[in-house]
Amino acid sequence: MRVVLQRVSRASVTINNKVNAEIGDGLLILLGIEEEDSGEDIKWLCSKIVKMRIFSDESGIMNNSLLDINGDAIVVSQFTLHANTKKGNRPSYIKAAKPDVAIPLYEEFVQVLEKELGKPVGTGEFGADMKVDLLNDGPVTIIIDSKRRE
């Protein structure tokens, strides 16, 4: 399971010209799911995400977590995070989980993140054509892969 965290001042997800979710200060989380991902990956990632100290304290040093600032989050499923670009110019998405595996894991990820964060989390819609708008704060962008924990 792979995530791209973007620290934002604001973010929103629009589907069919309708805003599905929007937040102020917090994280936009792009989530890529592979076939072999499990609940263990979800628990580890969600715990890591909410405790990641990437928000500035009163001295301007990144010492605060999403929990510390009572920030919000939006989770957007993005299978393209598992693109293989080694051969040719057309990415292969063979490692990305198929919907029958990915959808339940995506939904579980959102539920676990909500529990860790203690409040609702905004979402996109799995498989939909979404427009994601964000103001990256910093910019701060972090990539975390649950298969590379060392």
What CATH number is associated with residue 15?
3.50.80.10
Ranges under pLDDT 50 in the chain: none
- Three-state SS for 60? coil
Residue 80 belongs to some domain of the structure: yes
Residue 48 belongs to some domain of the structure: yes
Find, among 124, 132, 32, the residue nearest to 83 by Cα.
32
- The torsion defined by the Cα of 84, 33, 11 and 22, in degrees rounded to 10, comes to 150
pTM of the model: 0.94
pLDDT per residue as tens digits for the range 12-37 = 999 999 999 999 999 999 999 999 99
Tally of domains in the chain: 1
Residue 123 belongs to some domain of the structure: yes
Residue 150 belongs to some domain of the structure: no
Which pLDDT score, from 0 to 100, does residue 150 have? 65
Residue span of the structural domain in which 62 resides: 2-145
- List residues with catalytic annotation: 78-80
Residue 135 belongs to some domain of the structure: yes
* Calpha distance 98→103 (Å, rounded): 8
